[in-house]
Structure 1
Amino acid sequence: MAKKITEEELLAKAAKPGQEAMKLHPFYKGKLAVIPKCAIRTVDDFAIWYTPGVAAPCRDIQAHPETVFEHTNKGNLVAIVSDGSRVLGLGDIGPEAAMPVMEGKVILFKYLGGVDAFPICLDTKDPDEIIQAVKWLEPTFGGVNLEDLAQPKCFYILDTLRKEARIPVWHDDQQGTAAVTLAALINALKVVGKEMGQVKLAMIGAGAANIAITRILMAAGVDPEKVVMVDSQGTLHAERTDLKEKFKEKWHVCQATNAEKIKGGIPEALKNADVCIALSKPGSGTIKKEWIRAMAKDAVGLIG
């Protein structure tokens, strides 16, 4: 018979990664290093990799700009750009405090995808300055991963850069979270035998992630009228005119979803729902057991 784990043991287990991180981060002084890809057999090889030999690929790129992808690492180099204004569950902690997270993202890129990434933590919270900084970085990087930017500016930054940048720009918290959530929902609905267009969804949290998820789910066949989203002030519906001027993305959700104009909070959104997608504040008590019991039979929960 399996041993029952006590609450104290669970808390100790949850605290252990943080304790280890406080030992190992200063031991290694960060998680990144730059190493050469090319062979350096003797100092004579620097004549190839640096001067005078390097002038030849420089001239080739000048004459044929597309060859930058042949002569340099640009095609495999991604900038992870953040201002530290919405970091994980930590909130606005600033660009320096965001560095450990961005370094962690870098090693995910390298370990899981073989992609060379680099953390770019910017000392500005102005969305137009962030957009300009990304544009200035375009000659060096082959792509940009926007990370941990507060809303609503994250929508403006992404939409603008997707139109104006010459390289791919991706916001992990929007497109990344939305893509994996859609994949999970497709598989979960197969297990419980429900159709995408028929399920009622409760979206707990109205941040960048859940708004982006709602967009992609509707594109995949979810009926927007069956979606009920909840923010810190309650459910979103067409009478939430407080959002009309200050938050156009939420206001769009208000207009497109919740055909029944369900009012209240999380328990009202979850009642008879087939799916709960929760990306809100962390911690126990955010969603109570009795609210889950009020969901439809064979309900699905996707919790971030």
Structure 2
Amino acid sequence: MPADHPSDTASALDAEALRFHMKPTPGKIGLAATKPMATQRDLALAYSPGVAAPVRAIAADPDAAYDYTSKGNMVAVVSNGTAILGLGNLGAMASKPVMEGKAVLFKRFADLDAFDVEVEYTDPDKFIECVKGFGNSFGGINLEDIKAPECFEIERRLREELDIPVMHDDQHGTAIIAAAGLINACDITGRKIEDLKVVLCGAGAAGLSVLELIKHLGVKDENTIVVDIEGVVYEGRPGCHDRLAKHAIKTDKRTLAEAAKGADCLLGLSAAGVFTKEIIGSLAPRPIVFAMANPTPEITPEEVAEVRDDVIMATGRSDYPNQVNNVLGFPYIFRGALDVRATEINEDMKVAAARALAALAREDVPDEVANAYKVDRLQYGRDYIIPTPFDPRLIYWIPPFVAEAAVKSGVARRPIDDIEHYKQHLARRLDPTASMQQRITAAIRKEPKRIVFAEGEEPAVIRAAHAFENQGLGKAILIAREDVAKQNMRELGLPDDALEICNARLSEHNSEYAEFLYKRLQRKGFLRRDVQRRVNNDRNVFAACMLKMGQADGMVTGVTRHSNVVMKDVKLVLGPAEGGRVVGIASAITPGRTLLISDVTVEEFPDAQALAEIACATANAAKRLRLTPHVAFLSYSSFGNPPGERTEKIQEAVRILDRMGVDFEYEGEMAADVALDPDHHRLYPFSRLTQPANVLIMPAVHSASIALRLLKSAGGATVIGPMLVGLEKPVQIARLGSSVSDIVNLAGVAAYDLNTVDA
């Protein structure tokens, strides 16, 4: 067995990386079956004799492999190890950890299965013949870490000789991300790309691909100069291979310093320290500098800042703004290409990916993305011209652009008929909450509602309200002082008239609300002046009055106060819905399973009657969310074993539902593992649940909270909520300090109104 640590001379990071790759299982990838393999019948279908049916179908029509095998979701990551990262030619087997890492990235970011294939041949002809021999087993080929100029010929010929997408990511991945950044850098500096004067330093595979792609975007040949290790590439310079020679121009400049003088854009894909401060100082006003050498750029942002402060800069490093990271490109490009069964990845598809990335950077950035990078805010501008790799929107934003470009350019074998449906499908691949959110969104767009955002001066709330309106989900109303809200809008880059603002103290409805509230509370210890003060100063009270009096349809609050404080304020104005009970419901979602858990916020120790009513409210919410409720009353015991006094109220709750004659399945008391077990009828054949439970009624708030947090932290569930149901008007209370996305989601829930009886 090898040691689990390197020699004493290796760095701590090296030691950690070696342990990471070795334990608990060597390597980073494995195989998981997508079909059940539990019974003899499963095996008969998966292998002999059942497998003969798809074999015959594919023999008759090779494209049927997309229907009956995993080909359409599988990429081969292929290398011969002749240019591994910045380490050079270390051989095919040494490239295996990198190729496994690339396979992991395909799965993590685009839900594509990928397997590494290391080819021992360094001769291009032998390498090409080898890959041709197995290539069509896969949906696409990602070439990686193959040295130039051989990589150009290898990619060209494999693209010609295979009818699946083939892309050398070292070339085109960098090119696509850099092109996206350049589009936005030109926008920010007020330049037209066709007028841009560009100097490229570094004429390897990546550098030349960047140059060719930006020329495809509009950069003119005569406005570009290429510089390699021997100096400027000029017409007639001896020793240039064909790919390099086609970018030679007629010029008397011979050095990088001469070429860079007065240039608008300096692109570096060369080596550390190549760009001097003098070179940076000689560039045109508001220059664009992409120093993309790894791990150390041609010049650091700190060094640039010592010379001038008008530079838009990008590097390949994650610890600086504007990282040119290939993971922004290749997973989503292959995702879009494979989803339309493209025969190749062409220039139109690369340009589409670049333009899509550029457009995404101009959208409002979710808080969770900023939090992941430990910054307060990411906003389109000099320090944010390229999306970040962990932006969750990439999966459903980029592939549709690529797929549409494949269709328009004639290389798609299966066009996408409904692009919106395709986007929703992509979102669901990596986000288990997407399906529920899409149902809510689709419903409320058909009938937009007026949602009041009670804490309307908070920047996060303003952003959420603007996103709610901008997505066509309804009308947003901020409860705020006009001057404060408008100032915050301007600071967020929004017009100060972007949203409707209602000042509680100055509202024309102020007296009406106070009179209503006084009549409601005058026998509960409130004087008229107490009520007036509440209406004037308490935005939750005022917002709840808007709902009660019909000036709004729903309300979101809670970002700045604890939920129990907010609930007391709201209950001064709003009571339970007729015949209903106020309940806090959370949705815990994992791939393949959605659970509604109740009550998580309101009733601390519900009695039997309360448990029965909570079950009814939660079952109705499940129906509203298009779930068929299978309700389980949870306990530490199952059907009286072990016995205990705490189970008696649960048993009584079941009897109450029996007498009520409700229209949903329910059972209990049950342990959690029994409720979720599809085969629990083996031990309990009398159980009334025909499916595993998806609505879990907890015996107390503390058990609900514990279960929910365990599901989220240890079980990997995505949690939505708590969602409030049972008030006479739709009110949703966000958690203290909620993100913009959370607030928008709860505003959608308020507009959807979980109290409504499902039609």
Q: TM-score under structure 1 normalisation?
A: 0.88
1:132-211 map, 5 Å:
132-211=129-208
Q: How much has 1:214 moved relative to structure 2?
A: 1.2
| Gap runs ≥5 in structure 2 | 1-10, 293-759
Query: More displaced, 161-170 or 92-101?
Result: 161-170
The amino acid of 1:274's aligned partner reads D
Q: Could you tell me which amino acid in structure 1 is paired with residue 149 of structure 2?
A: P
Offset at 1:177? 1.8
Going from structure 1 to structure 2, the CA distance change for 1:201 and 1:129 (only over 3 Å counts) comes to same
2:274 & 2:33 partners in 1: Cα distance? 48
Q: 2:18 aligns with which of 4, 17, 22?
A: 22
Report whether the alignment pairs 1:87 with 2:75.
Answer: no
- Asked if 1:303 corresponds to 2:291, the answer is yes
Q: Is the 8 A contact 2:136 2:162 kept in 1?
A: no
In structure 1, distance between residues paired with 2:192 and 2:65 = 47
SS where residue 241 of structure 1 aligns?
A: coil
2:264 counterpart of 1:268 = no
Contact (CA 8 Å) 1:138, 1:166: kept in 2 or not?
no
2:97 aligned with 1:120: no
Match of 2:268 among 261, 278, 283: 278
> In structure 2, what is the Cα distance between the partners aligned to 1:219 and 1:139?
29
DSSP 3-state at the match of 2:193? coil
- Tell me which amino acid in the other structure corresponds to 1:134: V
Give per-residue Cα distances to partners, 1:63-114, cap 9 Å, x unaligned. 2222111110011111111110111111111111111111111011111111
Structure 1: where are the runs of 5+ without partners?
Answer: 1-14
AA in 2 matched with 1:302:
F
Letter in 2 for 1:103: E
Distance 1:109 1:152 in 2: 26
Structure 2: distance between partners of 1:19 and 1:273 = 44
Q: Which amino acid aligns with 2:283?
A: M
Structural mapping, 1:31-42, within 5 Å: 31-42=28-39
The partner residue of 2:245 within 228, 247, 251 is 251
Q: For residue 19 of structure 1, report the CA deviation from its aligned partner.
A: 4.2
The yes-or-no answer on 1:239 pairing with 2:217 is: no
| Distance in 1 between residues matched to 2:88 and 2:134, nearest whole Å | 26
Q: Percent identity?
A: 38
Match of 1:72 in 2: 69
Equivalence for 1:9: none
Per-residue CA shift, 1:256-281, capped at 9, x if unaligned?
Answer: x3x433112x3223221111111112
Give the partner amino acid of 1:190. D
Tell me how far 1:229 sits from its aligned partner: 1.2
Q: CA RMSD in A?
A: 1.5
Using the alignment, how far apart are the partners of 2:283 and 2:79 within structure 1?
38
- How many aligned positions are there? 281
Offset at 1:42?
2.7
1:11-30 residue CA offsets vs partner (Å, 9 max, x unmatched): xxxx6654421221122411
CA contact (8 A) 2:136 2:164 kept: no
Greater RCO (CA < 8 Å, at least 6 residues apart): 1
In the alignment, the residues of structure 2 paired with residue 17 and residue 236 of structure 1 have an alpha-carbon distance, to the nearest angstrom, of 40
1:175 CA displacement = 2.0
Q: 1:211-265 CA distances to partner (integer Å, 9 max, x unpaired)?
A: 111111112110111211111111111131232xxx11111111xx3x433112x
Local SS of the residue matching 2:239:
helix
Matched residue of 1:298: which SS?
coil
Letter in 2 for 1:26: M
Aligned 8 A contact 1:228 1:262 in 2: no
Greater C-alpha Rg: 2
Check 1:60–1:148 CA distance in 2 against 1; reply closer, same or farther (3 A cut): same
Checking the alignment, whether the CA contact within 8 Å between 1:271 and 1:294 is kept in structure 2 is yes
Give the 3-state SS of the residue equivalent to 2:278 in structure 1: helix
1:148-193, Cα deviation, whole Å (9 max, x unpaired): 1111111111111111212111111222222221111001110111
In the other structure, the counterpart of 1:4 is none
Matched with 1:104 is 101
Query: Using a 3 Å threshold, how does the CA distance of structure 1 residues 239 and 64 change in structure 2: closer, same or farther?
Result: closer
SS in 1 for 2:195: coil
Instruction: Using structure 2 for the length normalisation, give the TM-score.
Output: 0.36
